Chains A and B, each alone.
Chain A
Amino acid sequence: MSAADDHGATGRWEHFPHDADIGVRAFGATPEEAFVQAALAVMAAILDPSTVRLEQTIDIVLEAPRLDLLLVDWLNALIYEMAERRMVFGAFEVKIEDHHLKGRARGEVVSRSRHAPAVEAKGATYTELACVEDRPGLWRAQCVIDV
């Protein structure tokens, strides 16, 4: 499953197989864009993000000693907000400066009938974790999500 057929595009995501769970891999021109795409990939593991109405905004502030750890923290913060607020998200914004992240997630309270979520994300893991610039202008952010 992937967000775009055009693999030349920078901002996109895909799922990669893991025996029990789901791998998310995202690409972007910047780490911020890759983080946004990774968040969309997590949501797509649960439901179709295009069905989510953007009614509420949640702000998230994080810091971590490394960019890849920041990715895990970002995805885990979203998983926490989904669980605690009973929400699902469909759009994201991210700014990163010196391993400090300011993020924004927009979405709505989950509707079991309209969203029919397939799985619950338990946590983002360090398995297959990477946040690297594969070539100038192409960042890859990935890890496995325990569902």
Chain B
Amino acid sequence: MIEAKFKIKRDDFSLHADLCIPAHDVTAIFGPSGCGKTTLLRSIAGLDQHRQGYLKFRDSNWQDSDNFVPPHHRPLGYVFQEASLFAHLNVRDNLNYGFKRTPQSAQTIKLEQAVELLGLEHLLTRKPTNLSGGERQRVAIARALAVSPQLLLMDEPLTALDQTSKQEILAYLESLHNQLDIPIIYVSHSADEVARLADHLVLLEEGRVKASGSIGEMLTRLDLPLAQGNDAEALIEATVVEHDEEYKLTYMEFSGGRFTVAHKNLSIGKTARLRVLARDVSITLEHQNDTSILNIFPAIVEEINEDGISQVTVKLLVGGVPMLSRVTRKSASVLGLKPGKQVYAQAKSVALLA
């Protein structure tokens, strides 16, 4: 576990964070700009020092009332929003900077491994000025990995990049997550990145932790802003069970049934994330047979939130897995939706995040 308590007060800003983060997988710290995400991350790294702070990483105390471990003695890696490569060093020497300062006994990641993970083999002799924005950020990530961190902190590493580089680095980050067992704390204000990467979510609002929990649960909690409005979504982990070569489809199973999605080249047995937007899910009382929609699941209404003038958000449980549906208040009333009611959820479109 990572336990963090910080109390910071400045003229125009206060952070009053008290949180526990699992020391494995990817935890996203999510919230609007100015809510204190970056300050929180910098405090965890020890880059900002506050008198009132407590920080414990696994069994070691990094900060308490009479003890402050300086950042260069904390076994962490940090990726800033801008790549911030050393301008006087080429790519290889940038990567080497932290690597050669890491004691050999603590090296769990070899330099070549970091180079390979981020696909930097052909860039090693280049100077940072001769790299594209996406390449620079890949070097910065590899440089942070080369110190064999026990914790990787990332502060909106994709914000400064164009869409293509973003997608490319997201793919690298996913493979990193799959291949290395390093806990990552990822600060972001992009729901997209969070949906792709995060396993846990800490919701920060005006310097306070509003809620935290697993991503699936947090996205579908009707009392949180994430599940309100038009972009509400559910994430569902499902396993590839079959490919349909004739219609170019892929079938994926989860506890609530079987999804049909556009064909994707994934091996059978592989797990991947599916994103189902609340506005793409409609509700029927009977199982519809004469419809073009393929993804239809029996579901139970769990909760209804009247968060719009004419729309409501309905939380459904499909085989125990939460899913959201956004329907008009009129439909909800006509169908007599209320908690516990048996219905069918029809998902018009499902995106495979892989």
Q: Do A and B bind each other?
A: no
